[in-house]
Amino acid sequence: MYKNSEIFLTTFNRIEKEIKSSLMNKKDVGFSKAVKILRNSNPIVKKYSDDLLEFAELRNAIVHNKIDMNHAIAEPHDAIVEKIEKIEMEITQPRSVASLFSRKVISFQGNEPLTNALAIIEQKGFTKFPIYEGEKFKGIITEKGITVWLSNNMESSIRDALIKDVLVYEEDDNYRHIAGETSVYKAEQIFKEQIGKGNRLQALLITADDNQTDKLIGIITNWDIMNI
């Protein structure tokens, strides 16, 4: 039966190896400095940077204060061991957006009746749809764009409206395409970065290789990210 200190140190060493391998030509830097460098570019390290720095202090306390080779002066609590093992999994095997959000994406052609999209909203509750012209991606329509269109066309008949009519009322740049292998934390970071720039994304569209011309394999809405 392994002690908590042994499990903790072994897990910490695997995290340290993974983090330092991400530094390319700076593998000789200490663990804490490596974390501080990587949290500027790695969304997973950024998310757990405070925990990782605390783990480094605990590691030092265990290693430098051992009574002998077989006895640590401090034994981490079970909760700490569970946390470091969870974080190791996230860092070494991050969840991809494809693994969580792959699904059939309902899309429309711009010249289809708007009522087609409204029917899906009523039936399934989906409110964000990619729009195409043939095979060419043109943008997405959302419940917000539909509402704005309605407020500007109250004298018009909804039955005569086309989906492309709504696209004119959508905010520019309200989506991004991302590759399926992108980590969930990177997706979260994309949403947050855009909010920081005053741009609220409505959806991330998942393709195999981050290409607008590729078939969509999934979609992530802002609500999906909030619920992770």
Q: Phi-psi bin for 201: left (phi > 0), alpha (psi -120 to 50), beta?
A: beta
Paired sense of beta strands 136-142 and 216-221, if any: unpaired
CA atoms of 216 and 206, how far apart (whole Å)? 6
Check residue 125 and give its pLDDT: 92
Taking alpha carbons only, the member of 200, 206, 132 closest to residue 163 is: 132
Name the burial class of residue 166, with classes exposed (0-12), middle (13-18) and buried (19+) by CB atoms within 10 angstroms of its CB.
Answer: buried
- pLDDT of 207 above 90: yes
Over residues 13-21, mean pLDDT: 93
Check residue 196 and give its pLDDT: 87
Domain ranges within the chain, ordered by starting residue: 4-93, 99-226
Confidence band, pLDDT 50/70/90 cuts, at residue 228 = low
Check residue 172 and give its pLDDT: 81
Taking alpha carbons only, the member of 24, 31, 79 closest to residue 59 is: 31
Q: Does domain 99-226 have CATH number 3.40.50.10800?
A: no
- Strands ordered across the beta sheet of 175-179: 175-179, 203-207, 216-221
Over residues 71-96, mean pLDDT: 88
Over residues 72-93, mean pLDDT: 89
List pLDDT tens digits, range 134-174: 999 999 999 999 999 999 998 888 899 999 999 999 988 89
